Amino acid sequence: MTDIAIHWFRLDLRLRDNPALRAAAKHSQMIPLYICDTSEPDALKMGGASQWWLHQSLMSLNSDLDDQLVIYRGDPEQILMDIAKQSGASHVYWNRGYEPHRINQDMVIKVKLKQRGVNAISHNGRLLWEPMTVLKADQTPYKVFTPYYRKGCLSAAEPRYPENAPEHMNCLPKPATSLSIDDLDLSPDIPWYETMEQLWQPGEQGAADRLSRYINEAALHYTRDRDIPSVEGTSKLSPHLHFGELSPNQIWYAIKDHFRDDSIDNIKSIDKYLAELGWREFSYYLLYHFPELPTKNVSSRFDRFPWLDDPTSLRAWQRGMTGIPIIDAGMRELWQTGYMHNRVRMVVGSFLVKNLLTHWHDGAAWFHDCLLDADLAVNSASWQWVAGSGADAAPYFRIFNPILQGEKFDKDGLYVRKYCPELKDLPNKYIHKPWEAPQEILKLSGITLGDDYPQPIVDLKQSRQRALAAFQEIKTA
DNA sequence: TGAAATGTTGGGGCG
DNA sequence: ACGCCCCAACATTTC
């Protein structure tokens, strides 16, 4: 009798610590399968940068699988059904997703496969603590991060220790109908990704390299360096994590094991970093328990918030042409590299939602389009956090002053000068507020405001007042 | 994982 | 020497 299993790769593009893959590999033969899902809702369609990453990551995975990766495009339900039938597979394995449409899709597929006598088995390959297992004493979900993390997660059972890659994978010959990675048409025609190629190495090996570099070079100084965008003070693992090129478990234990015997001073940095993984978990948790997170304000009083709809200022923000250096540097970093430093993400988010009174949906959509690490759960939860409409969100009146943020975290203007080179000759005193520079200094620096670099599109003080006034309108209930 | 406005304190200049 | 004022530095409150 046949003993064939399918492993359905999704956001778990790795061989190591992949529970579903391990389970599939135990069968005498297996089919490693990737499906380019055309049934996804629009809001989830990948932006260009993410597509480029996916292309690279699939290349890497396929190479690790000795060119055995089977690829199709279409509706996963149909494709899985067809392949199971043609191959005679008795089992299908995958790692669970937590996005509402994926939960739904998985449920439907499970039922249909079972109707055909095929076992469908899902594993946890994505989270340290799965959302359905973490509840308050009264069986309702947490709404505040700290108790969620401390009581709900850290005091619960320890996360799974990472597993090795399967020892053997006996892959069924690849069917002739399998597409090639190029057939998926993920790589853009215009090679705008050349900058990204310099900065990133998608795939399981790239993820492992990035993790060990972080552990060896930055982890001990995380609390000191993490807010300084001109310094490599963060791990930059987010795109790798999104595509599942490594699991949070691998990060968690690589760090815990490596710094096991370290002194109390260093533990601060370690715990702070691990808590950031906790925020990622919290985002997935919120999305699971509040499936409308991507579109609906968690705090419903924001439904009445008087957002402005001004395409001109939105576009200035998107293109990094607001006239406020730290904002423009961040938005240009995003556009050029597919990434933005976390501190700057908060500052540009606050600016869009508060100083420009733009709905957080617009910010989330642009980030989703441009980020290599675009992730529905994290992106939605983070924008609601910035906007003040989320669970355990930043209070609305916490409005960042981009000048002060710049002066505090980019003191010498290194970050601004890198992404706004037209400002590079301004002295530090004015690098975060060129409009306050005396004429002669602007002239010496080769800048004509409104020509080489924009005048600020809003007055920071006035727009701050306007935001506070707008917030007053929705304050009751 | 703020910022600005307002309040308080204490050292030093000065009549 | 003393009290008064100024104001920087820090603390608290408010948004």
Q: A358: helix, coil or strand?
A: strand
CA-to-CA separations, A162 to A8, A55, A222, A249, in angstroms, rounded? 20, 26, 24, 6
Nucleotides of B under 7 A from a protein CB: 1-4
Taking the C-alpha atoms of residue A358 and residue A81, their distance in angstroms, rounded to an integer, is 45
Task: Assign residue A190 a region (left: φ > 0; alpha: ψ between -120 and 50; beta: otherwise).
Answer: beta
Q: How far is the CA of A81 from the C1' of C14 (A)?
A: 61
Please compute the mean of the pLDDT values over residues A72-94 and round it to a whole number: 97
Neighbour-count burial of A309, counting CB atoms closer than 10 A to its CB (0-12 exposed, 13-18 middle, 19+ buried): exposed
Sequence ranges of chain A with CATH classification 1.10.579.10 = 300-472
Q: How far is the CA of A174 from the C1' of B14 (A)?
A: 94
Contact A302/A388 with Cβ under 8 angstroms? Answer: yes
Q: Among A441, A233, A195, A460, which Cα is nearest to A325's?
A: A460
Q: Does domain A127-160+203-289 have CATH number 3.40.605.10?
A: no
What is the pLDDT, as a whole number, of residue A477? Answer: 59
CA A338, A351, A410 angle in degrees (round to 5)? Answer: 65
Q: How confident is the model at residue A188 (pLDDT cuts 50, 70, 90)?
A: confident
Positions of A annotated as catalytic residues are 276, 279, 307, 342, 360, 383
CA of A385: nearest nucleotide by C1' is B1
The two three-digit tokens of residue A368, written as one number? 């989703």
Q: How far is the CA of A400 from the C1' of C4 (A)?
A: 40
What is the pLDDT, as a whole number, of residue A189? Answer: 85
Taking the C-alpha atoms of residue A9 and residue A155, their distance in angstroms, rounded to an integer, is 32
CA of A408: nearest nucleotide by C1' is B2
pLDDT surpasses 70 at A317: yes
Sequence ranges of chain A with CATH classification 1.25.40.80 = 127-160+203-289
What is the pLDDT, as a whole number, of residue A155? Answer: 97
Burial A442-462 (b: 16+ CB within 10 A, else e): beebebeeeeebbebbbebee
What is the pLDDT, as a whole number, of residue A42? Answer: 82
Sequence ranges of chain A with CATH classification 3.40.50.620 = 4-125
Burial A17-37 (b: 16+ CB within 10 A, else e): bbbbbbbbbebebbbbbbbbb
Nucleotides of C under 7 A from a protein CB: 15
Q: How far is the CA of A357 from the C1' of B6 (A)?
A: 28
Q: Is the pTM of this model over 0.85?
A: yes
Taking the C-alpha atoms of residue A310 and residue A282, their distance in angstroms, rounded to an integer, is 32
CA of A471: nearest nucleotide by C1' is C15
Positive or negative torsion for Cα A86, A91, A96, A101:
positive
The CATH class, in words, for A4-125 is: alpha beta
pLDDT surpasses 90 at A444: yes
Q: How confident is the model at residue A10 (pLDDT cuts 50, 70, 90)?
A: very high
Q: How far is the CA of A394 from the C1' of B1 (A)?
A: 8
Contact A277/A128 with Cβ under 8 angstroms? Answer: yes
Tokens 């499936």: give the residue.
A291
User: Which residues are in reach of strand C, CB within 7 A?
Assistant: A 395, 397, 468, 471-472
Alpha helices per DSSP H over A259-301: 264-289
CA of A342: nearest nucleotide by C1' is B1
What is the pLDDT, as a whole number, of residue A301? Answer: 95
pLDDT digits (tens, 9 = 90+) for A162-181: 999 999 999 999 999 999 99
CA of A394: nearest nucleotide by C1' is B1
Closest CA to the C1' of B2: that residue is A398
Q: A72: helix, coil or strand?
A: strand
Q: How confident is the model at residue A263 (pLDDT cuts 50, 70, 90)?
A: confident
Taking the C-alpha atoms of residue A441 and residue A453, their distance in angstroms, rounded to an integer, is 14
pLDDT surpasses 80 at A51: yes
Q: How far is the CA of A158 from the C1' of C9 (A)?
A: 47
Taking the C-alpha atoms of residue A344 and residue A376, their distance in angstroms, rounded to an integer, is 20
Neighbour-count burial of A303, counting CB atoms closer than 10 A to its CB (0-12 exposed, 13-18 middle, 19+ buried): exposed
Q: How confident is the model at residue A1 (pLDDT cuts 50, 70, 90)?
A: low
The CATH class, in words, for A300-472 is: mainly alpha
Lowest mean pLDDT among A19-23, A60-64, A263-267: A263-267
- Residue A416's CB is within 10 A of a number of other CB atoms, namely 28
Q: How confident is the model at residue A265 (pLDDT cuts 50, 70, 90)?
A: confident
Say how far residue A222 (Cα) sits from the centre of its chain. 19
Taking the C-alpha atoms of residue A255 and residue A274, their distance in angstroms, rounded to an integer, is 9
Give the DSSP letter string of A387-425: HT-STTPPPTT----HHHHHHHHSTT-HHHHHH-GGGTT
Taking the C-alpha atoms of residue A274 and residue A342, their distance in angstroms, rounded to an integer, is 15
Taking the C-alpha atoms of residue A415 and residue A412, their distance in angstroms, rounded to an integer, is 8
Taking the C-alpha atoms of residue A148 and residue A460, their distance in angstroms, rounded to an integer, is 36
User: Which residues are in reach of strand B, CB within 7 A?
Assistant: A 145, 276, 279, 342-343, 346, 394-395, 397-401, 404-405, 408, 460-461, 464
Taking the C-alpha atoms of residue A57 and residue A62, their distance in angstroms, rounded to an integer, is 9
